[in-house]
Structure 1
């Protein structure tokens, strides 16, 4: 039921954004206000709610480092392909952000529960919060600034990272691990964090333009081939000698690596004008396609 509910929420939020943006009186650039709420409220709330509850032990290293490996391998892969195909820095940056980051929570959590039950969610949170979320807040913002400017201004990049609201919230959340949060505060943070996915999907939908000149099949194909196929394969081969292939740690790590492009990564690409129309296509195509490809990985490991 939860899986179908989340799937329906994806469809409604995304479609509503796309259709409403076509109305004559729909406010132009409304996505900027929505994105500001996401980056300043929704994402920090998620970090403050869940990171303090992480149980730190040696077992968490595998789901935690998975998103870092996927992003780094993805950056190397897309930069190499981009040089071979003579892509612009903006196009390379778009693929690094959209396909180097995975949707390990909103799409990931219900799929994990569907495949492996509720117990798998605790490993999913590790892949998402100190994993994908932290990668997005550091390497993600680094890539966004670098590829949008076309040069490495280390001072500017450093300032952007340390001023990025989700990163600040992440640092605060680490210290809150030693504090017992009141139930009312946790409830409020949960509700604020729950706004992330519908608002992000709505925002992306408002900026989606279904025109043939935006449907760049080669970048889309290469990007999704990496995110849905090569990325989980790399993690599978790397983790197989070191973890129990029948255990949840291994299976959750592979499944989370196979998830669709991260909505927030797509928003970053859009915010920094890294092929925004192409970026929105990764949500429109990648999320539905991932519902099929994750079944392949599930069958492979069972």
Structure 2
């Protein structure tokens, strides 16, 4: 329950500050820099240092990739009858084809399945969502936006991302015990991830734009929160992959709301602005209704 309260307080605080305090331009980008370069790496380093890899690791990691493929297929099917522009489809893919498996995923996994399940969520995020976002999504957005991103630059961005460096360091240093002061510092830094992430979302939320983008908003949130996760769960059910706890966590992560970092990537190239921030800003509070239902469907 406390994790849910933190989510709501962070989101409401961001909305209030945007509405009445009028923060300086770029305030959300500054907060996101802390989130991506400090808080998330600290959480990854702490969680992954002592992670136990499940025996069915491939089945666990397949979930975010299957979600990505299913989401793209659904958007391509909807694009022509709904007459969606290419930049709109790309913004939908960037923001919703990859789930918010870290900023919202970690606290929600903690709330519904306990802190002991967070390392599995970190695996899904770092070896699934993170890699998809920083390779396929980043390349797709830059191509559609008309920007050029050489392969060497793409590789540099992926390999030098602080969260990925933290992941590699955590795995390499597994035989080495961390001193108590370092563990405590990492926990404290990682604890800032959730409230500040939701605060950043609130800062970017343009409520009045919902009327103009309601159709795309319904499509994107319907796919992200209901349809695509349902297809993924159905595929796992048909394949006999349900019932294992690690798989349950991976499938629960696929039901998370739209990806903050994906919205940032789309917004940076001005793709269907402000649709990406609307998808996140409306999707996160809405997921507080859908995620409890998914936890009941998936069980423990």
**TM above 0.5:** yes
Structure 1 equivalent of residue 167 of structure 2: 170
Cα separation, 2, equivalents of 1:254 and 1:45: 24
Paired residue for 1:92, among 89, 93, 118?
89
Structure 1 equivalent of residue 249 of structure 2: 252
> The residue matched to 1:21 in structure 2 has which SS?
helix
Shift of 1:117: 5.2
Shift of 1:70: 1.2
Cα separation, 2, equivalents of 1:157 and 1:83: 31
Cα separation, 1, equivalents of 2:230 and 2:298: 12
Shift of 1:66: 1.0
Conserved? CA contact 1:13–1:202, under 8 Å = yes
1:194 and 2:191 aligned:
yes
Of 219-228 and 183-192, more deviation after overlay is shown by 183-192
Cα separation, 2, equivalents of 1:165 and 1:114: 26
Cα separation, 2, equivalents of 1:118 and 1:164: 25
> The residue matched to 1:181 in structure 2 has which SS?
coil
Cα separation, 2, equivalents of 1:219 and 1:273: 16
Shift of 1:120: 4.4
Cα separation, 2, equivalents of 1:132 and 1:179: 28
1:273 and 2:270 aligned:
yes
TM-score (norm 1): 0.83
Cα separation, 1, equivalents of 2:31 and 2:264: 11
Conserved? CA contact 2:224–2:255, under 8 Å = yes
Paired residue for 2:258, among 261, 272, 276?
261
Residues 290, 246 of structure 1: alpha-carbon distance in 2 compared, 3 angstrom cutoff = same
Paired residue for 1:228, among 219, 225, 230?
225
Cα separation, 2, equivalents of 1:287 and 1:275: 19
Of 60-69 and 143-152, more deviation after overlay is shown by 143-152
Cα separation, 2, equivalents of 1:300 and 1:56: 25
Of 202-211 and 79-88, more deviation after overlay is shown by 79-88
Residues 29, 74 of structure 1: alpha-carbon distance in 2 compared, 3 angstrom cutoff = same
Cα separation, 1, equivalents of 2:147 and 2:74: 18
Residues 24, 6 of structure 1: alpha-carbon distance in 2 compared, 3 angstrom cutoff = closer
Cα separation, 2, equivalents of 1:270 and 1:6: 28
Cα separation, 1, equivalents of 2:75 and 2:19: 33
1:48 and 2:42 aligned:
no
Conserved? CA contact 1:51–1:130, under 8 Å = no
> The residue matched to 1:274 in structure 2 has which SS?
coil
Conserved? CA contact 1:215–1:278, under 8 Å = no
Shift of 1:240: 1.8
> The residue matched to 1:92 in structure 2 has which SS?
helix
Matched ranges for 1:1-302 at <5 A: 3=1, 5-23=2-20, 26-82=23-79, 85-112=82-109, 115-116=112-113, 120-149=117-146, 153-212=150-209, 215-243=212-240, 245-301=242-298
Conserved? CA contact 2:46–2:186, under 8 Å = yes
Residues 223, 116 of structure 1: alpha-carbon distance in 2 compared, 3 angstrom cutoff = same
| 1:38-71 Cα deviation digits (max 9, x unpaired) | 2221222222222232222432322222112212
Q: Return 5+ residue gaps in structure 2 as ranges.
A: none
TM-score (norm 2): 0.83
Shift of 1:184: 2.0
Of 110-119 and 97-106, more deviation after overlay is shown by 110-119
Of 235-244 and 150-159, more deviation after overlay is shown by 150-159
Cα separation, 2, equivalents of 1:80 and 1:173: 41
> The residue matched to 1:179 in structure 2 has which SS?
coil
Q: Return 5+ residue gaps in structure 1 as ranges.
A: none
Conserved? CA contact 2:47–2:119, under 8 Å = no
Conserved? CA contact 2:120–2:249, under 8 Å = yes
